[in-house]
Structure 1
Amino acid sequence: MWPNGRPPAPASTTSASTAQKTTTSAQNTKPAPSAAKSNVSGDGHSYRPYDQKKPARKNSMSSFNGSESSWAQSHTTTRTSPPPSMRGPYTTKDPDKIVISAVYLFMNQFSKTPASQLVSGVGTVTDGLILRITTEGLFIDDDVRGVPQREWDVKAWTLKSVETGEWKAKGLHVLRATMRDQEGKRYLFVVDEEESWKLSVGLQRLKKGTMARSMGVSGMSASEARGTLEMLGWGL
């Protein structure tokens, strides 16, 4: 019998040891590491230059060369002209601008082949090839490009004679200007029927000038006009 009640039983050595291990284990246990941040989370350390979207590749300018869509007026020169298909045929009602089809230079009166020529719409020459006849002479310009053809200038005082002829079947006129030199150098201008009235106006003006008073003006026979134009290939 126990006057003060039964004393508690002493804890077993095994239980105490187990509790101690449990406490120690709980103290040494660390929380599991969190998942590593994704390298594409968007923070400053995830940037890669090659992650950027590549800019769209521009079309090479060479892929447009030669097409009408590539034409743009030049900002550095006024002598650039658009393709004829974008502006329509050149025409003018200006009586001082005679639209010509071609001009030929023969070095002497016996030549059958021109030494030089300008043909409308061929090479760098546009369809705006014009002849101006003034009291000072005959002058050629490319009116579309605004380019004066200075090497084709014919001064009035150097002219010996001018002749005009017509090939009605083809609707063509020819103006022959012969120089006042020993070789008999001459220029031939081919003009369409609708521009022929301007020739008459220009020749009257030239004849009235003081620089061409000794110049002869005469007509050319129809057969000679036709033969001349056929020789130049206008009979095809």
Structure 2
Amino acid sequence: MATKLADHLAKAEKTGKGVQPLTELEPELTIEQAYQVQLVTIGRKIKAGARVTGKKIGLTSLAMQQLLGVDQPDYGHLLDDMVVKNGGQVSFKRVLQPKVEAEIAFVLKKELTGPRVNAMDVLLATDYILPALEIVDSRVSNWQIKLPDTIADNASSGLYVLGEKPVKIDSVDLAQIGMVLYKNGEMMDTGVGAAALGNPAVCVAWLANKLYEFGISLKAGEVILSGALSAAVDAEPGDRFEARLAHLGNVSVRFVHE
């Protein structure tokens, strides 16, 4: 089943058109099965030459969990072909129905292996943090997703942008880092580090422990997008997004037609 559903999602990437929700094709699709679909897709991309650069954590806010009727986050894989340079451009040919979120990115200096990782372990294993924009996207038509749909679809991952000023984690209070997200110069959202499970380091600890269930650890050098600090904002060609995070600096991206 995992192969069949991975094929279904791959069709969206090939055609540039969203596909029917997996939970309509397989109404009994479980979270565990959905992660297996994700792993099939990632395995194929690695075989084709892609390299894993890290992980992203989704559904870290209570509002998003309530919206999907779940009580835990989810995660996806980051690949080297998802990276967009800070201040760079994204062609709409690369995306289907993008939305933009502002986050705090962790870059690890030590491996983190579950199942008993806590927030302090994360702080000790982190080399530095950066401001980040995550461009979430869905291969499922009109974002008609339930939790298994987004998990299978690599946690609705698209692309990501990192800031350029590394900040040591012990120089800031993660929970108190304020964020403002702008679209075309207009303020769209504000947020704070505490919006991600109370502290972004708690999100990364959750991830390390969840990955243990699949025999995966977080490696030194990996980038971890720790979860959105506010709601995702729709993107259209011509839109420019910028996030400003206290102590961490700015990160931006522009969407273009071609």
TM-score class normalised by the smaller sequence: under 0.3
Higher helix share: 2
Structure with the bigger RCO (C-alpha within 8 Å, sep 6+) is: 2
**Which of the pair has more CA radius of gyration?**
1
The two structures have a TM-score, normalised by structure 1, of 0.26
